[in-house]
Chains A and B, each alone.
Chain A
Amino acid sequence: MSWATQTIVYSLILIIIVNIIIIGIHKLTYKGDDE
C-alpha cells in the first residue's frame, strides 16, 4: 500500500472510530427529544 493509500485508509478509519465513540457517548447521555 502506498503512503497515499495509507493516508486515505487510516484517516477514514480514524474518523469513523472517533465518530462512533462520540455518537456512543451521545446515546448514553441523551435524555429524550428536546423540542
Chain B
Amino acid sequence: MVPIIITVLYFVFFSVYFGLKAKKKISTGKDFFTASGQLGWFAVMCSFTLAPLGGGHTSSLWQAQAGLGVSVAWWGVITGGIFIPIFLLWFGPMFRKLKVQTFPQALGKVFGPKIKIVNTSIAPAGWLGITMSETLGIATVIYTLSGGKLQFAPHCVLIAAALIIIYIMFGGMLQMGYMNVLNAIVLIGGSYLAVWYIGTWLPEGYDGVAKTYSLVGEAWRTDLFNFSTPAVFGIIIPCIVLNIFSVSSEHAMYQPMLAAKSNAEIRKGALLGGIINGMAAIPWVILGITGTSIAAIAAKEPLLAVPQLALQALPPVLIGVLMVALLCALLSTASGMVLAIAHVVTDDIIEPLHKEKFSGNKQIWIGRIVVVGVTLAAALPALKVTLIISLFFWCFSLSMPIFVAYFIGMVWKVNRTAAWINLIASLAVNCWWTFALPSWCPEGFTFAFWPVFVTTFVLGIVLNLILPGEKGMLKQIEEQKKSTLKQEVAV
C-alpha cells in the first residue's frame, strides 16, 4: 500500500495547496476556465506540454512496443519535435486572434453559428471518450501498482475520478497551471529515475535485454531506426496526422493559450516544451521493452508489462515515485479534458440557454458542478471500455475534419458549403468504418482514422478549389485592422 499512499498524498496535498493559492486569484467563470491571461511562459509551456500526454504517451506506447519494438518511441519524437512547436508558434497565437473563449466559438466565428452548435454538440462527446480512456488508464495504474490490493471497480475508478476532480476543482485553469509546472518536473525526474534504477537491477544492465532479444532473433525490438511497415503506418504517419489535425481541435489545447499573458509568452516555450513532451514518452517505452524481455512478464498482457516490471524490480517508495510520474501524465490530460468540456458546456450551452448573465461567483460554482458531472460521465462508462487505443483513434477521427475545415477557413478560404459537406461526409465515413467495416478493407487500415483522413483532405482541398468563397479569416482580420487604423488616422 506504500505506493498508493505516496500517490494519494502527493496529489491531494499539491492539488489542495495550489488550488487554494489559485482560488484567491479568480473571481469569474472566465478566470476559472482560462486563468484570464495570468500565466507566464513557463507555466503556459508546462500546461500545454502535459495536456496531450496521457495514455497516448505512456500506457498505449508500452502496449504497442510488444508488436513494434522501440520504434514506437517515434511517437514522442514526432509529437515533441513537430506538433508542440507548430502549435505554440502558429496554431495557439492564430486562435487568440479570433478573440473567442472556446474552440466551438472559433469555428462559429469562421463558419457561422450553426456549425458552432454542431461542434458544441459533437466535439465534447469525442473529448469525453478521451477522458474515459484516461480515467481507465489511471484506474489501471492504481490497480496494478497496488498489486491488486484494491478492487478495480469501483475503488480504483472512484479514486481516479476523485483525483481528476481535485486537480482542477478549486482554481480551474490557474490551479492546473501551477500543478503542471511541478508535475512536468516530477514526470521527467520520476520516470528517468526508474529507468536508471532498473538498469542497475538487471543482471547485465540494458545490454542483457538486447542480448535476450538477439538470442531469439528479435534484435529489431531494441532498434529505434527499425522502420517496419507497421511502425510507419501504425505509429509514425498516424502520429503526425492525429496530433497536428485532431489534437489541435481539442479545446484543452487552447485553454493554456488563453491563460498566457501574450503570444510572445506562448512562443517562448516551443523548444523546451517540445523536449519535455517528447522525452516524457521514452522511459515508458524502455520500461515496456525491458518488461517483455522477462518471460514471466511477457506471458501476461502487454498493458501489464510496466506495472509488473515495477513490482518486481523497484522498492515500494520507487514504485510510488513511478506511479506519481505516470499519473502526472494521465491526470494532467484527463483533468485538462474535463476542464475543456466543462468550459464548452458552461459557455456554449448553459449560458446561452439562461436568459440572464450569471454573477462571477455563480459562474465559478456552475463550472465546478459541471466539472464533477463531466468526470462522473467519463468515470462510469470507463468500467466497460477495454481497448484504449481503439477509443483514442475513434475520438481523434471524429475531430480531425473539424480542425481541417477550421484551418482551411483560417488560412485559405471561408466557404460554409464546403465546410458542411466535408464535416458530414467525414462523419459518415467514420461511422461506416466504425460500425460496418467493409469486408474489402485491407488489414492494418481497420481504424476509421485512415478513410477519414483521406476524405477530409480530398474534400477540403477539392471543394475549396471549385467553390467560390470569402478570403481566409486571418486575411480578413488583417484587413479589418488596417481599415480601422486608416479611419483612426483620418479622424
Chain A interface residues (CB < 8 Å from chain B) = 2-8, 10-12, 14-20, 22-23, 26, 33-35
Neighbouring A residues of B207 by C-beta, 8 Å:
2-3
**Of A4, A6, A12, A23, which is within 8 A of B199 by CB?**
A4
Tell me the nearest residue of chain A to B221, going by C-beta.
A3
Tell me the nearest residue of chain A to B264, going by C-beta.
A33
**Is B86 an interface residue, CB under 8 A from the partner?**
yes
6 A-B contact pairs sorted by A residue (CB < 8 Å): A8-B282, A11-B76, A11-B282, A19-B270, A26-B85, A34-B93
Question: Could you tell me the distance in whole angstroms from the C-beta of B196 to the nearest C-beta in chain A?
Answer: 10
Distance in angstroms between the alpha carbons of A10 and B81 in the assembled complex:
12
- Whether A22 lies near B286 (C-beta < 8 A) is no
- Whether B82 lies near A22 (C-beta < 8 A) is yes
Tell me the nearest residue of chain A to B207, going by C-beta.
A2
Neighbouring B residues of A22 by C-beta, 8 Å:
81-82, 85-86, 89, 270
Neighbouring A residues of B274 by C-beta, 8 Å:
15, 18-19
**Is B325 an interface residue, CB under 8 A from the partner?**
no
State the total of A-B contacts with C-beta under 8 angstroms.
92
- Whether A7 lies near B275 (C-beta < 8 A) is no
Neighbouring A residues of B263 by C-beta, 8 Å:
33-35
Count of B interface residues, CB-CB < 8 Å = 39
Question: Could you tell me the distance in whole angstroms from the C-beta of A25 to the nearest C-beta in chain B?
Answer: 9
- Whether A14 lies near B86 (C-beta < 8 A) is no
**Is B157 an interface residue, CB under 8 A from the partner?**
no
**Of B81, B96, B210, B262, which is within 8 A of A3 by CB?**
B210
Given A23-B89, A26-B90, A18 and B82 touching (CB < 8 A)?
yes
Distance in angstroms between the alpha carbons of A25 and B77 in the assembled complex:
19
8 Å CB contacts to A: which residues of B58-103? 70, 73, 76-77, 80-82, 84-86, 89-90, 93, 96-97
Question: Could you tell me the distance in whole angstroms from the C-beta of A30 to the nearest C-beta in chain B?
Answer: 8
Question: Could you tell me the distance in whole angstroms from the C-beta of B159 to the nearest C-beta in chain A?
Answer: 32
- Whether A3 lies near B271 (C-beta < 8 A) is no
Neighbouring B residues of A5 by C-beta, 8 Å:
206
**Is B131 an interface residue, CB under 8 A from the partner?**
no
- Whether A14 lies near B77 (C-beta < 8 A) is yes
Neighbouring A residues of B224 by C-beta, 8 Å:
3, 6-7, 10-11
- Whether B210 lies near A2 (C-beta < 8 A) is yes
Question: Could you tell me the distance in whole angstroms from the C-beta of B461 to the nearest C-beta in chain A?
Answer: 22
**Is B278 an interface residue, CB under 8 A from the partner?**
yes
Neighbouring A residues of B86 by C-beta, 8 Å:
22
Tell me the nearest residue of chain A to B82, going by C-beta.
A18
Neighbouring A residues of B206 by C-beta, 8 Å:
2-5
**Of A2, A3, A23, A35, which is within 8 A of B270 by CB?**
A23
- Whether B80 lies near A15 (C-beta < 8 A) is yes
Neighbouring A residues of B205 by C-beta, 8 Å:
2
- Whether A3 lies near B275 (C-beta < 8 A) is no
Distance in angstroms between the alpha carbons of A5 and B222 in the assembled complex:
11
Neighbouring A residues of B275 by C-beta, 8 Å:
12, 15-16, 19
Distance in angstroms between the alpha carbons of A29 and B264 in the assembled complex:
15
Distance in angstroms between the alpha carbons of A23 and B366 in the assembled complex:
40
Given A15-B80, A19-B271, A4 and B195 touching (CB < 8 A)?
yes
**Of B81, B195, B199, B267, which is within 8 A of A14 by CB?**
B81
Tell me the nearest residue of chain B to A31, going by C-beta.
B478
Tell me the nearest residue of chain B to A17, going by C-beta.
B81
Distance in angstroms between the alpha carbons of A22 and B278 in the assembled complex:
15
- Whether B77 lies near A11 (C-beta < 8 A) is yes
**Is B341 an interface residue, CB under 8 A from the partner?**
no
- Whether A3 lies near B97 (C-beta < 8 A) is no
**Is B342 an interface residue, CB under 8 A from the partner?**
no
**Is B285 an interface residue, CB under 8 A from the partner?**
yes
**Is B279 an interface residue, CB under 8 A from the partner?**
yes
